Amino acid sequence: MDPLVSAEWLAGQLGSPDLRVLDASYDALLPGEPPRDHAAEYRAGHVPGALYMDLSGFSDTASDLPSTMPGATQFADRAARLGIDRATRIVLYDDAPHHTAARAWVMLRAFGYDGVALLDGGLAAWKRAGLPLEQGDGAVPPRPVDAGASTTGLRDLAAMRTIQRDASAQIIDARSAARFTGAEPDPRAGVAPGHMPGARNLPYKGLFDADGRWKRDEALADAFLEAGVDLDRPMVMTCGSGITASVLAFGAHLLGRDAAVYDGSWTEWGADPSTPKATGAA
């Protein structure tokens, strides 16, 4: 299965016993932003047979940071409810401005799920193709899951201190230019403006065409290159809370490159008085 699939391809696969379609729409809310009820939106209309993957239930309940990866026990419990194990082919989609299906992709990959793809263009592309929607709640029998540890592709604060100090990998920030430079204050209380010294800025929206589909091939590579990224060197993606950093990681994957995600991202780094910080352009 390709990492990015079309609505037409997915429509032809529905009903396959080894396939699970998951709606991973999620509000990565900043203070002052109006919330959306993605669960209600899912019930109002979703890809037939899809289940709602509530990413708030896949966030570490013991962490003070927003949206961080769950531990193995929490992940296994939630994954079992969705009936997914490592043998399941999984197609993720969303109808969220932060393209949160990419966050679900990073999480599943971290727990050893390799057969995971994204629906190109999300639910909007499905609707534009004139394909049917289903209403109501979905349900499947629970499936036992042995999650293991979530270490693959993730970096913590200690690792990022070393990476930033030694420049052993490129740090690529998915936030807006205004937040990256510090021209706009961070919306979270107690979090400094600016970015990690040495980081490059590639706002995540630059990886998409106007219709919400992913850029591909040369156009996608150009987005990275124009941000000053060397695609042949190691990369670690960061953002505000690990959500849109996942978008950059998936974009790198489409180009055949592996990239890590700094899970705590700027919310952690920017709130720590001991970490170095920079303002202005990269």
Angle of helix 244-254 relative to helix 101-110, nearest 10 degrees, comes to: 70
> Is 239 among the catalytic positions?
yes
Cα–Cα dist 99/97, whole Å: 6
- Among residues 51, 221, 239, 243, which one is catalytic? 239
Q: Identify whether the C-beta of residue 185 lies closer than 8 Å to the C-beta of residue 193.
A: yes
| DSSP designation for 205 | G
CB count in 10 Å sphere of residue 210: 5
User: How far is the CA of 164 from the CAs of 88, 168, 169, in angstroms?
Assistant: 37, 7, 8
Cα–Cα dist 29/241, whole Å: 10
Q: Phi first, then psi: what are they for 231, rounded to 5°? A: -70, -10
**Which structure tokens are listed for 139?**
């349900």
What is the set of active-site residues? Answer: 239
